[in-house]
Amino acid sequence: MALKRKTLYTALYILMLAAMVWALMPIVWMVLSSVKTQVNMFSMPPKFFFTPTFITYREMFGEGGNFGEFLSNSVIVSLATTVLSVVLGLMGGFALARGNFKRENNISSWIISTRMAPIPAVILPLYLMFAKAGLIGTTVGLIFAYTTFNLPFALWMMATFFKDVPVDLEEAAMIDGCSKFEAFRRIAVPTAAPGIVATAILCLMFSWNDFAFASVFSGRGTQTVPVAASLLISQHGIQWGQAMATGTIIIMPMVICGLAVRKYLVRGLSMGAVK
């Protein structure tokens, strides 16, 4: 019996190892390729051991490279939409969690459908509206566009977090003379703080990773990093070295953010359905 168990566990770990290779090999290969010279990059058979060089990164950020601009565009847009969505979502989510109103199910379905709406179907009317309003190619337009998925997400998540905050505390504060809004600000918000931070980080991740909206709505000077990545593909071929370096730059902060909110990841990715 003990022997059988041991074989089972060995098989289990071998399977897990295979799964890890499958999941991680592309990422490892991307990071490795980003620190290769052209020669090493295109040598066959593929090279796993070589002297790393940061020449690709230096080209991208150095003179003549405008990568810094893409980076700052990405940061500005992601932060702005996150702040906007979380502030509105905080108040709205609290109201959704505490209020008792008719058609609550309809409002919930509306919010979730907005969050999950196919991006092409959202881009189209926004494009026509933005064209009329002169918002194409502007940072403001892109911030609004990202809010189409971040606000419903923040609303929904904050509602599930506030539902976890016991209402008794707020009621006690209100008996002591606090207004409902004060009870929200002084009691509910601090109690739900970890959830608020997690929601904000997830909003950041969604907007940082977006490509479809940015490719349609951003113009010269407002393009984000994922758009920069796509620009490396041209009719004359693909600059693989820079593409892999750009990819590495895009995913590194997301891995850090994602692991930082690991505890809330399941909740965020399942839209609060699984806690």
Partner 1 sequence: MPQWTRTIDRASAAAAAVRPHKRAKWNRTEFWMLLPSMIVLALISIFPFFFMIYASLMDYSLSLDEPVFAGLDNWRRILTSETFWHSWGRTAVFGVSGLVLQLAVGVLVALLMYYIPKGRNLILTLWMLPLFVAPVVAGLLWKYLLDPTYGLYDWVLKQFGLNTQILGDVSTAMPAIILMDIWEWTPLITLIVLAGLQSVPTEPLEAAEVDGASGLQKIRYILLPMVRRMIVVSLLIRSMDILRYVDTITITTEGGPADSTKTIGYYLMQVAFRFQDMGTAAALGLTMLVVTIIMGNFFVKIMKKGED
Residues 89 to 108 in contact with partner 1, rule: CB under 8 A: 89, 91-92, 94-101, 105, 108
Cα atoms in the Cβ-side hemisphere of radius 13 Å centred on 108: 16
Q: Give dist(CA 261, CA 195) in Å, integer.
A: 9
Checking DSSP bridges between strand 233-234 and strand 237-238, what pairing results, if any? antiparallel
Within 8 A by CB and 6+ apart from 185, the residues are none
Is 19 a binding residue for partner 1 by CB under 8 A? The answer is: yes
Q: Which is nearer to partner 1, 193 or 269 (CB)?
A: 269
Is 177 a binding residue for partner 1 by CB under 8 A? The answer is: no
- Is 31 within 8 Å of 251 (Cβ atoms)? no
Smallest gap from residue 66 Cβ to partner 1 (A): 19
Q: Which is nearer to partner 1, 2 or 63 (CB)?
A: 2
Q: Give dist(CA 127, CA 122) in Å, integer.
A: 9
Residue 235, classed as helix, strand or coil, is: coil
Binding string, residues 142-171; x marks residues near partner 1 by CB under 8 A: --x--xx--xx--x-------x---xx-xx
Within 8 A by CB and 6+ apart from 47, the residues are 36, 40
Q: Which of residues 216-245 bind partner 1 (CB under 8 A)?
A: 216, 226, 229-230, 232-233, 238, 240, 243-244
Give the amino acid at 215: S
Stretch that binds partner 1, among 56-64, 86-94, 134-142, 189-197 (CB under 8 A): 86-94
Q: Which is nearer to partner 1, 56 or 246 (CB)?
A: 246
Of 191, 29, 19, 217, whose CA–CA distance to 125 is shortest?
217
Q: Give dist(CA 80, CA 71) in Å, integer.
A: 14
Is 274 a binding residue for partner 1 by CB under 8 A? The answer is: yes
Smallest gap from residue 72 Cβ to partner 1 (A): 18
The DSSP symbol for 47 reads P
Smallest gap from residue 247 Cβ to partner 1 (A): 4
Q: Which is nearer to partner 1, 49 or 63 (CB)?
A: 49
Binding string, residues 26-65; x marks residues near partner 1 by CB under 8 A: xx-xx--x-------xx-xxx-------------------
Provide Rg for the chain, Cα atoms.
23
Q: Which of residues 197-216 bind partner 1 (CB under 8 A)?
A: 205, 208-212, 215-216
Q: Which is nearer to partner 1, 51 or 274 (CB)?
A: 274
User: Which residue shows structure tokens 């909110």?
Assistant: 261
Q: Which two tokens stand for residue 226?
A: 């994922």
Is 114 a binding residue for partner 1 by CB under 8 A? The answer is: yes
Is 75 a binding residue for partner 1 by CB under 8 A? The answer is: no
Smallest gap from residue 264 Cβ to partner 1 (A): 11
Q: What is the DSSP string of 88-126?
A: HHHHHHHHHHH---TTHHHHHHHHHHHHHS-HHHHHHHH
Stretch that binds partner 1, among 53-61, 75-83, 177-185, 194-202 (CB under 8 A): 177-185
